[in-house]
Homo-oligomer: A and B are copies of this chain.
């Protein structure tokens, strides 16, 4: 890591519209091309997620996205793989409940990178370890095909309860579309994450722009 490139004062702005990559959904266009289009449309951060594949594949995909993001100012996070994030010099990591413990990762890597943590319940969001995370990713809000092992969907009401118990910056994930954004307003969120809606879109820039406008227009 080369020092905090995302000051804490910018964190909430960076969380507005988070793209989580899915190579299968990006298809033949490739992940970097979809990322470039999504950023042109208004994505404010990118998390590279490679569920299947080796660490070497993961590192290569992170570097390709890093190259695509060069000069845009949009931060890059790595899902799960802390070693890949460190080797690549990413801006942060996003951890799940079964990944390396967030408090230990924070102690190891210090304050200079963003750490996100996935939570699916009030219990998880109020756990003391959350204090070591910069933000919480809450979900799934709705059922989603991109993460078949995900917990039972929270729905907007459940999401609001989890966000209220979080006491930290929070984003929602899982089945989010532009049409569903109104249901997420007033739920205490800083932003929303998108996977399939943008990665599988024929025109990722257009869909990203629609999500961004929908979110910015009716925020909080």
A interface residues, Cβ below 8 angstroms from B: 54-57, 59, 80-84, 86-87, 96-101, 104-105, 108
Residue of A97, A100, A101 with highest tally of chain B CB at under 10 A = A100
Q: Is the pair B99, A86 in contact by a Cβ cutoff of 8 Å? A: no
Q: Is the pair B59, A87 in contact by a Cβ cutoff of 8 Å? A: no
Q: Is the pair B55, A80 in contact by a Cβ cutoff of 8 Å? A: yes
Residue of B nearest to A85 (CB): B83
The contact of A54 among B55, B81, B84, B99, by CB within 8 Å, is: B99
CB distance from A144 to the nearest CB of B (A): 20
Assembled-state Cα–Cα distance A84/B108 (Å): 11
With A54-B98, A81-B83 known, 16 other A-B pairs at CB within 8 A are A54-B96, A54-B99, A55-B80, A55-B98, A55-B99, A55-B100, A56-B97, A56-B98, A56-B100, A59-B101, A82-B83, A83-B83, A83-B86, A87-B100, A87-B104, A87-B105
Assembled-state Cα–Cα distance A54/B51 (Å): 12
Assembled-state Cα–Cα distance A101/B56 (Å): 7
Q: Is the pair A57, B98 in contact by a Cβ cutoff of 8 Å? A: yes
Assembled-state Cα–Cα distance A36/B105 (Å): 29
CB distance from A178 to the nearest CB of B (A): 34
Q: Is the pair A83, B54 in contact by a Cβ cutoff of 8 Å? A: no
CB distance from A131 to the nearest CB of B (A): 18
